[in-house]
Chains A and B, each alone.
Chain A
Amino acid sequence: MTIFVLITLIPALFKGTFNLLLRGNEYLDPGSGSFILQLILASLLGFLFILKTYWQKLLRIFRRLFSKSNNEQEE
Chain B
Amino acid sequence: MKSNSNQNLSKIRTLTTPETLGSSFRDPSGFLFKQQGEIFRQINLEYRNHYDHLMSSGLYQYLVEHTLMLTHKEIEIPPPDPITAYKIIKPNMLDFVSYPYEWCFSQLKHAALTTLRLQRNALKYGMCLKDASAYNIQFHHGKPVLIDSLSFETYIPGKPWIAYRQFCQHFLAPLSLAAYRDIRLFQLTKTFIDGIPLDLTSRLLPNRSRFSVGVWMHIHLHAKSQQKYANQKIKSSNNFNLNSMLGLIDSLENTVNGMKWKLIGAGWESYYHHDHNYSPNGLKSKEKIIHTWLKEINPTLVWDLGANTGKFSRIASQQNMRTLAFDIDPAAVEINYQQCLDQKETYLLPLVMDFTNPSPALGWQHRERLSLEDRGPANALLALALIHHLAIGNNVPLDRLAQFFSRLGKWLIIEFIPKEDSQVQRLLSYREDIFSSYNQATFEKIFSNFFKIHKVQSVHESLRNLYLMENRLL
A residues adjacent to B (C-beta < 8 A): 11, 15, 18-19, 21-50, 52
The answer on a CB contact under 8 Å between A33 and B229 is: yes
Kindly provide the distance from the CB of A14 to the nearest chain B CB, expressed in whole angstroms.
9
- Can you list 26 A-B pairs, Cβ within 8 angstroms, ordered by A? A15-B210, A22-B221, A22-B224, A23-B228, A25-B227, A26-B230, A26-B231, A27-B230, A29-B232, A31-B165, A32-B232, A33-B225, A35-B234, A36-B229, A38-B160, A38-B161, A38-B164, A39-B237, A41-B244, A41-B248, A42-B240, A43-B239, A45-B250, A46-B243, A48-B250, A49-B247
Nearest B residue to A24, CB-CB: B228
Known contacts A32-B232, A49-B243; 8 further A-B pairs (Cβ under 8 A): A18-B224, A29-B232, A37-B222, A39-B239, A42-B241, A45-B251, A46-B243, A49-B246
Smallest beta-carbon distance B251→chain A, Å? 6
Task: Identify which of residues 373-415 in chain B touch chain A, using a CB-to-CB cut-off of 8 Å.
Answer: none
User: Which residue of A18, A24, A39 contacts B160 across the interface (Cβ within 8 Å)?
Assistant: A39
Q: A26–B248 contact, CB under 8 A?
A: no
Taking a contact as CB atoms under 8 Å apart, the answer to whether A33 and B230 are in contact is yes
Q: List chain B residues, Cβ under 8 A from A28.
A: 197, 199, 226-227, 230
B233 and chain A: residue at smallest CB distance: A32
CB of B248 within 8 A of CB of A45, answer: yes
Is there an interface contact between B240 and A39, defined as CB atoms closer than 8 Å? yes
A-B complex: 9 closest residue pairs judged by Cβ atoms: A45-B247, A33-B226, A49-B247, A24-B228, A38-B160, A34-B165, A37-B225, A46-B243, A46-B244
Contact of A46 with B241 at beta-carbon distance under 8 Å, contacts A30-B198, A34-B222 already known: yes
Cβ-closest chain B residue relative to A19 = B224
Residue B428 lies at the interface, judged by CB distance under 8 Å to chain A? no
B227 and A42 contacting across the interface, CB-CB below 8 Å:
no
| Contact assessment for B250 and A29 in the assembled complex, using a CB-CB cutoff below 8 Å | no
Contact indicator B231/A29 (Cβ below 8 Å): yes
What chain B residues lie within 8 Å of A42 (beta carbons)? 160, 239-241, 244
A27–chain B nearest beta-carbon distance, Å: 5
Q: Is the CB of A27 within 8 A of B237?
A: no
Closest to A27 in B: B230
Partner of B247 from A27, A40, A48 at Cβ < 8 Å: A48
Partner of A32, one of B161, B216, B234, B239: B234
B297 interface residue (CB < 8 Å to A): no
Do residues A49 and B165 form an inter-chain contact, with CB atoms below 8 A?
no
Q: Does B217 contact A (CB under 8 A)?
A: yes
Q: How far is the CB of A65 from chain B (nearest CB, A)?
A: 26
Min CB–CB distance A22 → chain B (angstroms): 4
- Is the C-beta of B213 less than 8 angstroms from some C-beta in chain A? yes
Bound CA span A26–B221, Å? 15
Q: What is the CB-to-nearest-CB distance from A64 to chain B, in angstroms, rounded to a whole number?
A: 24
A46 → chain B, closest Cβ, in Å?
4
State the CA gap A21–B221 with chains docked (Å). Answer: 10
In the complex, per-residue mask of B73-85: 1 if CB is within 8 Å of any chain A CB, else 0: 0000000000000
Bound together, the chains give a CA A35 to CA B213 distance in angstroms of: 19
Contact with A along B149-188 (1 / 0, CB 8 A): 0000000000011001100110000000000000000000
Residues on the A chain within 8 Å of B250, using CB: 45, 48-49, 52
Judge whether A33 and B210 touch: CB under 8 Å: no
Which of A27, A29, A32, A37 is within 8 Å of B221, CB to CB? Answer: A37
Point out the residues of chain A lying under 8 angstroms from B224, CB to CB. 18-19, 22-24
Cβ distance B12 to chain A, nearest Cβ, rounded Å:
45
Chain B CB count within 10 A is highest, among A11, A30, A50, for A30
Distance (whole angstroms) from the CB of A25 to the closest CB of chain B:
6
B230 to chain A, nearest CB (A): 4
In the complex, what residues of A have CB within 8 A of residue B217's CB? 41
* Cα separation A24 to B224 with both chains bound (whole Å): 7
Determine the distance from Cα of A29 to Cα of B243 in the docked complex, in whole angstroms: 27
Residues of chain B within 8 A of A47, CB atoms compared? 247
Q: Which of A11, A28, A29, A45 counts the most B-chain CB atoms under 10 A from its CB?
A: A45
CB distance from B63 to the nearest CB of A (A): 23
**CB-nearest residue of chain A relative to B237?**
A39
Render B235-258 as a binary contact track against A, CB cut-off 8 A, 1 for contact.
001011101101110110000000
Residues of A contacting B251 in the complex (Cβ-Cβ under 8 angstroms): 45, 48
Bound form: Cα–Cα A17–B164 in Å? 23
B213 — nearest CB in chain A belongs to which residue?
A11
